[in-house]
Copies of this chain bind each other. A is one copy, B any other.
Amino acid sequence: MIANTPQPPYYAVIFTSIRSEIVAGYGITADEMVALASEQAGYLGIESARDEIGITVSYWENEEAILNWKRHAAHQIAQQKGRDMWYLAFKTRVCRVERDYGFSSAKSI
């Protein structure tokens, strides 16, 4: 789903990744991290898609919330496993959302 974020400004973390062939533990951990992120202070929403590459964008109230989530103990373990096993490469970009606009057709209601 498209995340239902508030009026800007808020923050986005764009995580773009290329997976390895190692699947063990990946799906469960990814689901756990999405659930755990959603419980953190300052969390606003998440969007994710994968085909040749994966793009996950999480939205946050401020940079402090992003740093707290990055440092969360269970997330730290998952990040290490990501580097060791699940990802060939990734890039994380921390952004300030300046403005946004959207569209929803009558068909989608």
**Chain A residues within 8 Å of B, Cβ to Cβ:** 1-3, 5, 8, 12, 14, 16-18, 20, 47-55, 57, 63, 83, 87-105, 107-108
Beta-carbon contact of A96 and B93 below 8 Å: no
Q: Knowing A53-B47, A103-B89, A105-B83, say if A98 contacts B96 (CB, 8 Å).
A: yes
Q: Knowing A2-B16, A55-B49, A55-B57, say if A95 contacts B95 (CB, 8 Å).
A: yes
Beta-carbon contact of A2 and B20 below 8 Å: no
Residue of B nearest to A47 (CB): B16
Task: Give chain B residues whose Cβ lies under 8 Å from the Cβ of A108.
Answer: 18, 88-89
Task: Give chain B residues whose Cβ lies under 8 Å from the Cβ of A5.
Answer: 91, 93
Partner of A99, one of B8, B49, B94: B94
Task: Give chain B residues whose Cβ lies under 8 Å from the Cβ of A88.
Answer: 104-105, 107-108
Q: List 23 A-B contacts (CB under 8 A).
A: A2-B89, A2-B91, A5-B91, A12-B93, A14-B97, A16-B47, A16-B57, A49-B52, A49-B53, A51-B51, A55-B55, A57-B57, A63-B98, A88-B104, A88-B108, A89-B104, A90-B103, A91-B100, A93-B97, A94-B97, A94-B99, A95-B98, A96-B98
